[in-house]
Amino acid sequence: MLTAESTAVVRATLPVVGAAIGDITPLFYRKMFAAHPELERDLFNRGNQAQGDQQRALAASIAGYATLLVDEDGPDPRSVLARIAHKHASLGILPEQYQIVHDHLFEAIAEVLGDAVTPEVAAAWDEVYWHMAEALIQIEQGLYDEAGVATGDVWRSVRVRRRVQESPDTISLELADPDGAALPAGRPGQYLSVAVRLPDGARQIRQYSLTGAADPGAWSVSVKAIPASHDGDRIAPAGEVSNHLHATVFEGDVLEVSMPFGELRLTESTRPLVLVSAGIGITPMIGFLHHLRRTGTDRPVTVLHADRSPARHAHRAELAGLVDQIPSATLHRWYEDLGARPVGDGLRPGYLDLDGVDLPADADVYVCGPLPFMSLVRGELLRRGVPADRIHHEVFGPGEEVAAA
């Protein structure tokens, strides 16, 4: 924990620092990338940087961690670091890189806050930063040890053994060791980082959930090509990596991927399961269902999925087949455009609606999909009496949070 002196200073200055953190983090990134352009080119997600998502994520993580750190009655602040640590481990982050972040972050803090950063304030927030950094370094080292690799040495080459067009905008890639050796098994819910060299020479990295569809000893992921979009004045560029993979990666090609990481893990219990997904959020659910089928589960499993149409539904036939092979599982699907298909047998038009769906009160619930979808579902689950600690979710964006709508 922080020293008593630093705790008092952080508690007193948290409103000021918290209010300014949105100005501090963009300046921090500009300074760091100016000094280390290779980090922007080869490590950080350029799309998230362009939209400001990464800046907002860092701001939220620092302010949130500091808030928990000085809250005597709050949870252990280290308990909220799992998602960040898994992401860092999947990128091969090294302990010494935290010093680079520290130096440029505190330079930005001093520039934005000016004379408000007294020696006492600087020392207190320095203590906050290193408390968080050292906790992450410790967690990440445990993840490296668990994966059986040296610190940061998470990357390996794999060969694309099979490519399947799952829907008009989604492909699946089955990955195998180039020499035929078995790849380490991933856990249901985990993901791989995939690194590609783009035409401009940048090495960009994205994460994709393991679907569990491959043979034992191989990995399988699905990739949705992300088009450019706009929401008012905010323009989101097309996905650099997803579109590159769609256009250029086929059977026989070699990819650079990480070991499996990810904090979303299926609970091992006899409680009922409810799996709720929308769009490409189906991928971790497919991984869960393959695991449940292989292990011969007798847990009651309720599968709920929403999509734009049957034609746009990636893994549509695979999902139905897996549910059929699990005697205790039932499937409900919603399509915005159902077309000429008849309603019934778990098939409904419109958006996912939990009304009329039997949700066991003691179920473990997993949710994955667009952030607004997950917030709506979580809010409805809470209103239906599902305890918050039984609702688990996977967020694909950088540090986004799911709130009850």
> What pLDDT score does 286 carry?
97
For residue 402, name the pLDDT band (cuts at 50, 70, 90).
low
- Cα(16)–Cα(115) distance, rounded to whole angstroms? 13
* Residues labelled as active-site residues: 98, 140
Q: Could you tell me if 136 and 84 are in contact, meaning their C-beta atoms sit under 8 angstroms apart?
A: yes
Query: What does DSSP say about strands 347-349 and 203-209: parallel, antiparallel, or unpaired?
Result: unpaired
pLDDT at 174 over 60: yes
Res. 55: pLDDT tops 90? no
Q: Which of 148-162, 259-273, 339-353 has the lowest mean pLDDT?
A: 339-353
pLDDT in the model for residue 268: 86
Region 200-218 average pLDDT? 93
Per residue in 125-155, pLDDT (tens digit) is: 999 999 999 999 999 999 999 999 999 999 9
Q: What is the mean pLDDT of residues 387-402?
A: 75
Q: Which of 22-36, 43-57, 97-111, 158-172 has the lowest mean pLDDT?
A: 43-57
Give all strands (DSSP E) within 232-382, no chain letters. 234-236, 254-258, 273-278, 301-307, 329-335, 347-349, 364-368
Residue 368: which of 377, 359, 381, 360 has the closest Cα?
A: 377
Q: Say yes or no to pLDDT of 215 above 90.
A: no
Reply yes or no on whether the pLDDT at 398 is more than 60: no
The pLDDT of residue 110 is 96
CA distance 87 to 149: 16
Q: Which of 191, 206, 212 is nearest to 244 (CA)?
A: 206
Please determine, for residue 345, whether its predicted confidence score (pLDDT) is greater than 90. no
pLDDT single digits (tens) 267-309: 889 999 999 999 999 999 999 999 999 999 999 999 999 999 9
pLDDT band of residue 400 (cuts 50, 70, 90) is: low
Q: What is the 3-state secondary structure (H, E, C) of 294-319?
A: HCCCCCCEEEEEEECCHHHCCCHHHH
- Asked whether 186 and 126 are in contact (CB, 8 A), the reply is no
Which ranges constitute the DSSP H helices of 188-239?
Answer: none
The C-alpha atoms of residue 301 and residue 292 are separated, in whole angstroms, by: 9
The DSSP code sequence of 81-98 is -HHHHHHHHHHT--TTHH
Helix H or strand E encompassing 175: strand 170-176
For the chain, what percent of residues have pLDDT higher than 90? 80
Average pLDDT over every residue of 363-378: 95
Higher pLDDT, 52 or 8: 8
Q: Is the pLDDT of residue 232 over 90?
A: no
> Mean pLDDT score of the chain, rounded to an integer?
93
pLDDT category at 334 given cuts 50, 70, 90 is very high
pLDDT value, residue 401 = 52
Angle at which helix 4-35 crosses helix 53-69, to 10 degrees, equals 160
Per-residue tokens: 350: 């419109």
237 band by pLDDT with thresholds 50, 70 and 90: confident
Q: pTM of the full predicted structure? A: 0.93
For position 213, what pLDDT does the model report? 81
Tens digits of residue pLDDT in 90-107:
999 999 999 999 999 999
Please determine, for residue 61, whether its predicted confidence score (pLDDT) is greater than 70.
Answer: yes
